[in-house]
C-alpha cells in the first residue's frame, strides 16, 4: 500500500486500513481478488495451450488431465480461455469504473461547488440518467455501436457515473461550508485549485468505496452484454462471451464445463469485490450507507 511509512502519528487512512485488516470477509475478498488478478496476468505461464488454437478433432472434450476444463466447439482449451478471459473482464471493470469515476467526480464537484444553474443542469442530467433502466439502455447503445470491448467499457462507464456524482456532490456541499475551505478561498486560491487540492482529498473515502463496487458493476455489465452477443466479440475470450455458450440449449444441458466455470468466476469476482467494498466502507467511511 502506498502509505507513507515515515509518518509517525496514524493518519485516518492508516486507521482505516488497520480496521480493514481486522475485517475477515474483506480480507477473504481481497485475497481472492489478488489470486484471480495474478492468474489472469500470468496466464501464459500457467497454460501450455494457445488462446485461440483451433483443434476441431477435439471439440467438446470433457474435462481431463490434458484439458483441465475441457474444450469448446472449436476444440479450444477452456481453461486457457478462462485465464485470458479474466484479463478482458477485469480490464473492462477497471476502465469502465475509471470513466464513471472521472465523469462523476468532475460533474459532482462542479455542481456541488458552484451551485446555482450549473448545479441545476447537472442534477437534471443525473435525473434523466437515473430513470434510464440501466441494462436496457446499455443493450440499445451496444446494439447501435456494435459489439466490441471498447464499447462495453464506454457504455458501462457513461451509464455508471450518476451514483458517484450524487455522492460527491452531497459531500462537496457539506464540505464547502467548512472553515478550511473558507480559508482557502480567503487566501485567494481559485476554485479549480480548491477543488483539486482541498476538496477531492477529503472525499477520497467515498470515492474509493464507490469505485471498488463500480468494478463489480463493470464486470457484471460485460458479462451480461457479452452473454447477449452485444459485448466483447469472439474470438477474444471474455467471461461474458464464454457464458454465451449456454445460449445453446445443447451446451446448456450437456457441456457444463463451457459456461459454469466462467459464470462462477464472475460470481466469485463480484463476491470478493463486494466483500472488500463493504469492508472499505465500514473502515473508511462509516457514515456512508448503501
Partner 1 sequence: MYKYIIRRLLLMIPVLVGVSIIIFSLIHLAPGDPYSAMIDPNTPTEEIENMLQNIGYYDPLPVKYTKWASRALTGDLGYSIRYQEPVVDIITRRIGNTLLLSVLSLTLSVVIAVPLGVISATKQYSKFDYIATIFAFIGMSLPAFFFALLMIKFLAFDLKLFPISGMQTIGSGYTGIRLLWDVVHHMMLPVIVLSFLQMASFMRYSRSSVLEVIKQDYIRTARAKGLSEKLVVYRHALRNALIPVITLLSSSLGFILSGAILTETVFSWPGMGTLIYQSILNRDYPLVIASTMLLSICVLLANLLADILYAVADPRIKYN
Interface residues with partner 1 (CB under 8 A) are: 25, 124-125, 127-128, 130-137, 139-141, 143-144, 216, 220, 223-224, 227-228, 243, 246, 249, 252-253, 256, 259-260, 263, 266-267, 270-271, 273-275, 278, 289-290
Q: Which residues contact 23 (CB under 8 A, 6 or more apart)?
A: 279, 282, 283
Shorter beta-carbon distance to partner 1: residue 60 or 256: 256
Nearest approach, Cβ of 250 to partner 1 (angstroms)?
A: 11
Retrieve residue 203's grid coordinates: 472525499
Shorter beta-carbon distance to partner 1: residue 159 or 195: 159
Retrieve residue 155's grid coordinates: 457504455
From CA 117, how far away is CA 120, in angstroms rounded?
Answer: 5
Nearest approach, Cβ of 194 to partner 1 (angstroms)?
A: 31
Nearest approach, Cβ of 166 to partner 1 (angstroms)?
A: 12
Burial 166-176 (b: 16+ CB within 10 A, else e): bbbbebbeebb
Dihedral of the alpha carbons of 126, 132, 136, 141, in degrees to the nearest 10: -50
Strand partners, 77: 71
Shorter beta-carbon distance to partner 1: residue 104 or 261: 261
From CA 200, how far away is CA 53, in angstroms rounded?
Answer: 48
* Run of H or E including 140: helix 134-145
Contact 55, 22 (CB under 8 A): no
Nearest approach, Cβ of 50 to partner 1 (angstroms)?
A: 27
Nearest approach, Cβ of 46 to partner 1 (angstroms)?
A: 24
Retrieve residue 16's grid coordinates: 482505516
Nearest approach, Cβ of 90 to partner 1 (angstroms)?
A: 15
CA atoms within 13 A on the CB side of 149: 17
Amino acid at each position: 500500500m502506498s502509505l507513507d511509512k515515515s509518518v509517525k502519528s496514524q493518519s485516518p487512512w492508516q486507521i482505516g486500513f488497520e480496521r480493514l485488516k481486522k475485517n475477515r470477509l474483506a480480507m477473504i475478498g481481497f485475497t481472492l481478488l489478488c489470486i484471480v488478478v495474478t492468474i489472469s496476468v500470468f496466464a501464459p505461464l500457467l497454460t501450455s495451450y494457445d488462446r485461440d488454437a483451433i483443434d476441431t478433432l477435439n471439440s467438446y472434450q470433457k474435462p481431463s488431465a490434458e484439458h483441465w476444463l475441457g474444450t469448446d466447439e472449436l476444440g479450444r482449451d477452456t481453461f486457457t480461455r478462462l485465464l485470458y478471459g479474466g484479463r478482458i473482464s477485469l480490464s473492462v471493470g477497471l476502465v469502465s469504473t475509471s470513466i464513471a469515476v472521472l465523469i462523476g467526480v468532475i460533474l459532482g464537484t462542479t455542481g456541488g461547488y458552484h451551485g446555482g444553474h450549473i448545479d441545476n443542469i447537472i442534477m437534471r442530467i443525473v435525473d434523466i440518467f437515473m430513470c434510464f433502466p440501466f441494462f436496457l439502455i446499455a443493450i440499445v447503445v451496444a446494439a447501435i455501436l456494435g459489439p466490441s470491448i471498447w464499447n462495453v467499457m464506454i457504455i458501462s462507464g457513461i451509464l455508471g457515473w450518476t451514483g458517484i456524482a450524487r455522492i460527491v456532490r452531497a459531500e462537496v456541499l457539506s464540505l464547502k461550508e467548512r472553515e478550511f475551505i473558507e480559508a482557502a478561498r480567503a487566501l485567494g486560491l481559485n476554485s479549480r485549485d480548491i477543488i483539486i487540492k482541498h476538496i477531492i482529498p477529503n472525499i477520497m473515502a467515498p470515492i474509493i468505496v464507490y469505485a471498488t463496487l463500480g468494478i463489480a458493476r463493470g464486470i457484471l455489465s460485460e458479462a451480461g452484454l457479452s452473454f447477449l452477443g452485444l459485448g466483447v466479440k469472439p474470438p477474444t475470450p471474455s467471461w461474458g462471451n464464454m457464458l454465451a455458450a449456454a445460449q445453446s440449449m445443447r451446451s446448456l444441458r450437456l457441456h457444463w464445463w463451457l459456461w459454469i466455470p466462467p459464470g462462477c468466476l464472475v460470481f466469485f469476482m463480484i463476491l470478493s469485490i463486494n466483500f472488500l467494498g463493504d469492508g472499505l466502507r465500514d473502515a473508511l467511511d462509516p457514515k456512508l450507507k448503501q
